[in-house]
Structure 1
Amino acid sequence: MNQTHDEQIYIPQEGESQLTFRAVAAGCLLGGIVTSMNLYLGLKIGWSIGGSLMAAILGFGLFALIKPKKPYSVLEANITQTAGSGAGSMASAAGLLAPIPAMGMLGEEIPTWGLFAWSLAIAYLGVMLAVPLRRQYVVIEKLRFPTGTATANTIVAMFASAGESLRKAKVLSYFSVGAFLYIVSSYFIPQLESPPFHKWFDISALGVMALWGFKLAVSPMLFGAGLLIGPRVGASLIGGAIAGWALLGPSIQSIGWAPHENPMVIFDQESKLWGVRGWILWVGVAIMVADGLVSLALSWKTFMTAFRGTRDAMSHGDLKETSQESTSIPNSWWMGGFALASIATTIVASLVFHIPPLLTVVAIFLSTILANVAVRSIGETDINPVGGMGKVTQAIFGSVSSSMATNLMSAGITGAGASQAGDMMQDLKTGHLLGASPKAQFKAQLIGILSGVFFAVPVYLVFDQAYDIGAANSPLTAPAAQAWKAVAEVMSKGFAALPPMAGWGMLAGFLLGGLFPAIKRFYPKLAPYTPSGLALGIAFIVPAKYSIIMFLGSLAYMIWQRWRPSSFEALVFAVSCGLIAGEGLAGITNAILTLIGVPSLF
């Protein structure tokens, strides 16, 4: 391969291995672990993480341990991370964190074949949408795509310093095994996961705090997530928990707006009473929606530039980048793939969710526009505004259809397009920096997505059967799905669907949520100190114990960074991902133990 770029950080060797069976297989396997982990994490707190870096590090560690006769190459590592990120993103792209569980909360039964068909159809839409944008955003404008750039540099560094890379892989594995064993042990001894201090010490104040969710939840996954999100988001979570569960919640219960004696109840069908959680979640949803929509509105320049980029990309495709056009993705591939994925999505949407074909076509059209904006947003900030994209679609479809299924699943199409387009573009950025073949990456991504579906859907079904996703007493509260469901209910039923006086709470939440992106936009010096609207809103939806443990993780982030900065830079990602992956896999194990009726010891 003779191509060179001014950004390129690695020059491939003549005849260097790239799209090999072992690289793709490793990526699919590691991506399956990531998507299973993301399902558990996303259904618990509403977030998921990318699989690129994790697949790259573990793939390198795997082959370093195996020591094959033919050495594992840099370009193979790139294929492993591409397939791994494609598979790992399926928890989000297939709608299994938001629209699908929201449908379940509404009592809609989705057949297993329908979940597989839907996941496969919409996941490929986003990949096809990313291809024609590559030349404009990666080659011409050279947008940074921080995760893609970090992954490329990590791969090069691993091969330059094999000992350090193996150390990271081992640390990740050790923490993963430790988290796995702890959470599986907590199945048999539940006190390990939530120590009942209020009972042990018989202190009434602790009992009251526990009733309102302020208790210690020992969760390696959430502590690891706190290590990833950092102090600003961690502080936003604990601030939201205090505002929602310690201040607002008791106030509205004492006034009588949420009279159920158990504050964790959303709505009790028998007594027809709202719990505090059912009231304040509307405030949290409003904060999240406003944060997403105002951020989009303030990014109007991004919209305009994205549209110009689309025009240029559609005119020139992915060609003219190198002297070897055989490495580029032919226009016929993505155009044909987009047409097939669109047809499949339209058919599945009609058969499974009874969405009129015309409305599905409109949703796909919106997806092409909003996925473009999402790609540029990721390129500039590393943030994919999937939630905001989904809310835009929900608002548009709420004006033309009263069907909640149409509202949710049309937004799912937009969310999938944004999710997969952004994921694919990060991978293409990595490949661009490494001098890899876009065509090889495209094939690896398609295979990774296919394998990811066959990991994600069965794991989701196991979780749903074992834990009743989204239920008031479920460990998987699905906060993102709660938000999507709430918007769909308002769009279909109007404000009559709200608890008493919750409309005013939503208005206050909307104003507050819109204030944060405005401050960051017009007063950039205050941006590091401005709360995260997404995190603040989620803290109103999930029990306070989840916010507490994530805040402790972000506190550990600050202490570790200041105390041992070199160790922090080298190992923080490995430690956090190990904790998240270990509990994610343990969650699957515990769900299976629940389904087959294995009793706990206490």
Structure 2
Amino acid sequence: MPTTARPPVPTSAPRWAWLPPIGSKRYYAMLAVLGIFILGPLGGVTASYMNFSIGFFVGGQVLAGILGSSVTLGYGPEGKHGANYMQTAAASVAGMAGMGVLLQAMVWMGLPQPPAWQLMLFLGAIGMFGAGVGMLYTPILVDRLQLTFPSGLAVANILRAMTDPVLLKRSIGRLGLGTARGVGGGVGAAKLAVLGAIELSTSTFGAGLLVGARIGLAALVAALTGHLLIPYFVSIGWLHAGDPFRKITFLIGLGLIMGAAIYDIGGILIEAARRLRALRAPAQPAPGRREPADPPRVGDAAGVLGARSSGDDEAWKQTHTGRLIAWVLFWGGLVVWVGASVLNQPVVFMLLAVALVLVFAMVNGISLGISDSNPISAAFVTAVVLMAALGLKDPGVGLMAGGILLVAVSVAGDMQQDRSTGWRLGTPRTIQFRFQVMGLLVGAIVSVGFARLFMTAYPVLSLDQTVMSADQQPGQWVSAMTYKFV
């Protein structure tokens, strides 16, 4: 595990007397409680709902950063580090909660449900392994390659801006207004016939506002194209009459994702190699140009590029590589042991999945750093296809082994993105790592809890949509990620 770095020294006393001093035990306890037990579950239930209803979810970094800043505002500019710790922990809880779709996939496939504690242990071990791998690759992706990590940049700028009381008040007000409209739309869809007839979903509408036209327009075109091609698919025998078009278009979509991922990742690796060569070459600063001595501010050109002038000996970024390697080996071994001894999965495929994480955590981390996209579905599908080529016949084994890729690569990407935020703010990495670890522990518990809560409250989530006809498909619970896995 990394060595302890010195926390930032406060430049002024807290504005509010009830706040504990920065760096004290009460300070870290307050941040942990708020991030893990309040903001984390709030983001977790949102992530679970989005994954069950739509099929994807967005991280809770921005939400946790804004709400957490309402507390750390009392520390002034130094409060950005505390808000960063909270959003790191909360996002870890939320990210793990979104992985509950693996339990839904087990139900759809008719697999026996292991006891809850076994699933929590398995998910927790995978999360710890992914966190270690992500931290191990951080000096390469964040420090050396200096990848942008657009979401990490956005969160860093938000945390800086939220030290301004006026901006914080405005942000919380808009967040509250959006929440009220979402609740109102949900109630209206249940009570008003006109809204119920169009199957209004404020969560889908809100997700569209987040992802924008780049994804929303593509989804609309794909849906219309799939609907229009149903007669053709039926005529060539790819679909039976009454089948939903996504029963075949999801395979086409996976092929498109795989092909695009191969092309994009190839280009990304070439770009990464160019950056690495450029970093090795001696720098030639322009005449009269002077490098900034401080971290970039919001709105600065340096801030847009994510640059930070710093030496390699800065205490806040120091970690112990040997301990990180030991961490990765221990948790990787525990993942294999739990999968083989507790869940009765073949050792060879557990080992293969763990080994593939080491590859995809780097490749997907580069993709996330450049394009803000973590193609975890491509990692999952590639792993399952490779295992099938090696003789895998049991779909349950494929799901469990692919789940290792899904969770670990997702956690590793979050780790690298959060470290990019900390890199821009100068937040001590060791402390941020520990907050993420605490969030993953709680996230492993709530992921199983939320999954079973949703499937109990909404029994339709337990029905295998892959065998349903088009008129039987539940409109409000698409569960696209689960459909793809199964």
- Shorter-normalised TM range: 0.7 to 0.9
Find the aligned partners of 2:349 and 2:273 in 1 and give their Cα distance.
Answer: 23
Aligned length: 422
Range 142-151 or range 163-172, more displaced: 163-172
Alpha-carbon distance between aligned partners in 2 of 1:329 and 1:190, rounded to the nearest angstrom:
57
Q: Is the 8 A contact 1:137 1:309 kept in 2?
A: no
Q: Which amino acid aligns with 1:393?
A: A
Determine which of 26, 36, 53 is the counterpart of 2:62.
Answer: 53
AA in 2 matched with 1:477: V
Mapped to 1, the partners of 2:413 and 2:64 lie a distance apart of 17
Could you say which residue in structure 2 is the equivalent of 1:249?
Answer: 230
Unaligned runs of 5+ residues in structure 2 are 1-7, 13-20, 277-309, 466-472
Tell me which residue corresponds to 2:186. Answer: 183
Distance (whole Å) between structure 2 residues aligned to residue 337 and residue 228 of structure 1: 36
Judge conservation of contact 1:135–1:321 (CA < 8 Å) in 2.
Answer: no
Of the candidates 245, 248, 259, which is equivalent to residue 282 of structure 1?
248
Q: Contact (CA 8 Å) 2:128, 2:331: kept in 1 or not?
A: yes
- Verify the 8 A CA contact 1:470 1:482 in the aligned structure 2: no
1:415-470 per-residue CA deviation (whole Å, 9 max, x = no partner) reads 22211111011111111111110001000100111122232221110111232426
CA contact (8 A) 2:100 2:450 kept: no
Distance 1:309 1:367, change over 3 A: farther
Is 2:72–2:82's contact at 8 Å kept on the other side of the alignment?
A: no
Displacement of 1:179: 2.2
CA-CA distance at 1:150 after TM superposition? 0.9
The residue type equivalent to 1:39 in the other structure is S
Give the distance between the partners of 1:444 and 1:378, measured in 2 at CA: 22
Q: Which residue pairs with 2:130 in the alignment?
A: 126
Which AA in structure 2 matches 1:337?
A: W
Match of 2:333 among 338, 343, 346: 343
TM norm structure 1? 0.64
- Cα deviation per residue 1:365-417 (whole Å; 9 max; x = unaligned)? 11101111011111111110101111110110112210101212211111222
Separation (CA, whole Å) in 1 of partners of 2:33 and 2:80: 16
Residues of 1 paired with 2:411 and 2:429: CA distance?
16
Shift of 1:145: 0.7
Alignment partner for residue 406 of structure 2, among 415, 428, 438? 415
Mapping of 1:562-581 within 5 angstroms? Answer: none
1:326-364 CA distance string (max 9 Å, x none): 752322442232223212211221245432112211110
- In structure 2, relative to structure 1, the CA distance for the partners of 1:48 and 1:244 (3 Å cut) is same
Counterpart of 1:387 in structure 2 is: 377
Opposite residue 28 of structure 2, the aligned amino acid is: T
> Which stretch shifts more, 167-176 or 290-299?
290-299
2:283 maps to none
Amino acid at match of 1:344: L
Structure 1 counterpart of 2:252, one-letter code: A
Distance 1:137 1:302 in 2: 12
Partner of 1:531: none
Change (3 A) 1:217 1:297: same
Query: 1:323–1:386: structure 2 CA closer, same or farther, 3 Å change rule?
Result: same
Structure 1 residue 130: deviation in Å? 1.1
Is residue 69–residue 79 contact of structure 2 (8 Å, CA) maintained in 1?
no
Q: 1:168 to 1:254 in 2, by over 3 A?
A: same
The C-alpha deviation readout for 1:295-353, integer Å capped at 9, x for no partner, is: 2244225447879999xxxxxxxxx9643547523224422322232122112212454
Question: Which moved further from structure 2: 440-449 or 223-232?
Answer: 223-232
Letter of the 1:219 counterpart: S
The aligned residue for residue 95 of structure 2 is 89
Of the three residues 25, 49, 57, the one matched with 1:40 is 49
For 1:371-382, what aligned pairs fall within 5 Å after superposition? Answer: 371-382=361-372
Distance 1:448 1:377 in 2: 24
Matched, 1:107 2:110: yes
Q: Does 1:27 align with 2:35?
A: yes
Where does 1:518-597 land on structure 2 (aligned, <5 Å)?
Answer: none
Structure 1 residue aligned with 2:161, among 142, 147, 157?
157
Q: Distance in 2 between matches of 1:281 and 1:321?
A: 54
CA shift, 1:293, in A, is: 3.8
Superposed, which structure 2 residues align to 1:92-491 within 5 Å? 92=98, 95-97=99-101, 99-111=102-114, 112-159=116-163, 161-180=164-183, 182-183=185-186, 189=191, 191=193, 194-195=196-197, 216-245=198-227, 247-252=228-233, 258-259=239-240, 275-277=242-244, 280-303=246-269, 322-325=312-315, 328-351=318-341, 353-400=343-390, 401-468=392-459, 469=461, 471=463, 472=465, 473-474=473-474, 475-485=476-486
Change (3 A) 1:152 1:255: closer
Please state how far the C-alpha of 1:292 moved relative to its aligned partner.
3.1
Whether the 8 Å contact between 1:467 and 1:476 is mirrored in structure 2 is: no
AA in 2 matched with 1:482 = Y
CA gap of 1:224–1:306, structure 2 versus 1, over 3 A, is same
Q: Distance in 2 between matches of 1:54 and 1:169?
A: 9
Q: For the Cα contact (< 8 Å) 1:12–1:75, is it kept in 2? A: no
**1:72, CA displacement in angstroms?**
7.5
Deviations 1:171-209 (A, max 9, x none): 21232244235535756x4847622xxxxxxxxxxxxxx
**Native 8 Å contact 1:122 1:345 kept in 2:** yes
Distance in 2 separating the partners of 1:238 and 1:178 = 24
Q: Match of 1:411, SS?
A: helix
3-state SS, counterpart of residue 299 of structure 1: helix
Q: How far apart are the structure 2 equivalents of 1:255 and 1:339?
A: 50
> 5 Å matches for 1:509-524?
none
* Residues 305/371 of structure 1: CA separation in 2 closer, same or farther (3 Å cut): farther
RMSD (CA atoms): 3.0
Give the unaligned 5+ runs of structure 1.
Answer: 1-10, 196-215, 261-274, 311-319, 486-602
- Give the secondary-structure state (helix, strand or coil) at the position aligned to 2:361: helix
Q: Which amino acid aligns with 1:33?
A: L
Per the TM alignment, residue 17 of structure 1 is displaced from its structure 2 partner at its CA by 2.4
